[in-house]
Amino acid sequence: MSNSHEAGHDHASHGSHGALKSYTVGFVLSIVLTLISFWIVLSGAVAHDSIELWLALFAVIQLLVQLGFFLHLGANPEQQQNTAIFMFTALVLGIAVGGSLWVMHNANVLMMPGM
């Protein structure tokens, strides 16, 4: 490999990989989202019936922050392969977990005829 080819794959040459600003923003957003979640539960400002909905919403936002700022997944051309691999892995895990739950539910229903 030539020296110029190796320099093209250096992580420092990518703007979003390893940038201290990216990690700092992601860290601050994660802390803020966590504190908001704690506030929702502890303050009583949110109706008791909707706490789970709000926590799920902030959990999804936190997941997106983690994926974007720490794992550098996104739509940029240099990130598309990592994003596609992550999406495929999530699909396989979803099928495995969903299929397992479906089989266990059906087994429970079919093995308890008196219920």
Return the residue matching tokens 């789970």.
52
Summarize the confidence of residues 19-27 as an average pLDDT: 91
38-96 pLDDT, tens per residue?
Answer: 999 999 889 999 999 999 999 999 999 999 999 888 888 888 898 999 999 999 999 99
The overall longest dimension of the chain from CA atoms, in Å, is 74
| Closest to 68 in 3D by CA, of 12, 9, 19, 101 | 19
pTM of the shown model: 0.65
1 CB burial (10 A radius; 0-12, 13-18, 19+): exposed
Q: Tell me the per-residue pLDDT of 4-15, one tens digit each, with 9 for 90 and over.
A: 444 444 454 454
User: What integer pLDDT is reported at residue 90 of this predicted model?
Assistant: 95
Q: What is the pLDDT of residues 100-109, one digit of tens each?
A: 999 999 998 8
